Amino acid sequence: MGTDLQPIANHAIIFQNRQYREIAEEIKRKLDALELHENPFLRHHQLWQAHVYNWKRTEEEIFAKIYWTNDEEFDLTVHNGLTIELEGPVGLNLDFCENLILFVEPSYRYCEWFEPRFKQLRDEWRKYMYLIATTFGGNRVIYLADNAHTLDQFRFFQGNFEEMERAMEQKLGKPKKQFAEILDDYDNAYLTDYFVDLDFNEKVDFNKILPFIKLERKQSNYFNSNNNL
């Protein structure tokens, strides 16, 4: 079993002394206003996935979902209303907790996320993460990992985002500042992403970066047909 990427962001959503439905409606309203179903990269990525996995659906069916939705009964039963799981357009999913936002996508292995050859594709996903984090009052993402990785212990940290950061620094030292620095110590290094290097005006040919990943998928042990590109 591989180790998957688990990006989390801070936020400024008020959970205390508020009803579940009030918080969920606030989140959905802000997400819907972003109109992510029109995002060129996310649309291209969804069509690319449909091709790779041979989805038996038309383009109209693939893009039919426009608004974000949640299962209130499930959240109240399973999470006691402390986590709000939302399903969005173009295959997106987000989990909102009192102390963080968990990005379900992108579905990468932790190790491959930091590889130089993934930079352009990674940066497109980072633009999406930046948009989500800042929309809800956040300003950074920490890249955690699951499945018995050292960082797995922090995925369900009982405390606020800043307390978790202090605990991580005490356990693992200061976060790295460059993606390439993680390559030297996958098992213990971690990165806090403030998105300062992103070029939002960069013109990217999605047809070049997504077929590249498709070809690499046949050759790389990093990829898993159930979870990864």
Question: Which residue range forms the structural domain that includes residue 62?
Answer: 5-217
Q: Indicate the burial class of 50 (C-beta count within 10 angstroms; 0-12, 13-18, 19 or more).
A: middle
Pick the residue with more confidence: 215 or 192?
192
- Tokens representing 177 are 């500042």
Q: What is the pTM of this model?
A: 0.91
End-to-end CA distance of the chain: 16
Asked whether residue 209 is assigned to any structural domain, the reply reads yes
Average pLDDT over residues 3-27: 96
Asked whether residue 225 is assigned to any structural domain, the reply reads no
Predicted confidence at residue 111, as pLDDT, reads: 87
Helix 40-52 crosses helix 119-135 at what angle (to 10 degrees)? 130
- pLDDT tens digits along 143-163: 999 887 899 999 889 899 999
Total domain count, the chain? 1
Asked whether residue 229 is assigned to any structural domain, the reply reads no
Asked whether residue 71 is assigned to any structural domain, the reply reads yes
Pick the residue with more confidence: 7 or 54?
7
Asked whether residue 224 is assigned to any structural domain, the reply reads no
How far is CA 62 from each of CA 38, 40, 87, 127, 128, rounded to the nearest angstrom?
Answer: 13, 14, 14, 22, 19
- pLDDT tens digits along 101-140: 999 999 888 989 999 999 999 999 999 999 999 999 999 9
Phi, psi angles (nearest 5°) of residue 163: -65, -40
Query: Is 2's pLDDT higher than 50?
Result: yes
Asked whether residue 227 is assigned to any structural domain, the reply reads no
Asked whether residue 75 is assigned to any structural domain, the reply reads yes
Asked whether residue 34 is assigned to any structural domain, the reply reads yes
- Residues near 206 by beta carbon (within 8 Å), at least 6 away in sequence: 40, 41, 44, 45, 48, 124
Which of 31-40, 50-59, 105-114, 184-193 is most confident? 31-40
Instruction: Work out the pLDDT band at 213, boundaries 50, 70, 90.
Output: low
Residue pair 109/144 in contact (Cβ under 8 Å)? The answer is no
Predicted confidence at residue 56, as pLDDT, reads: 87
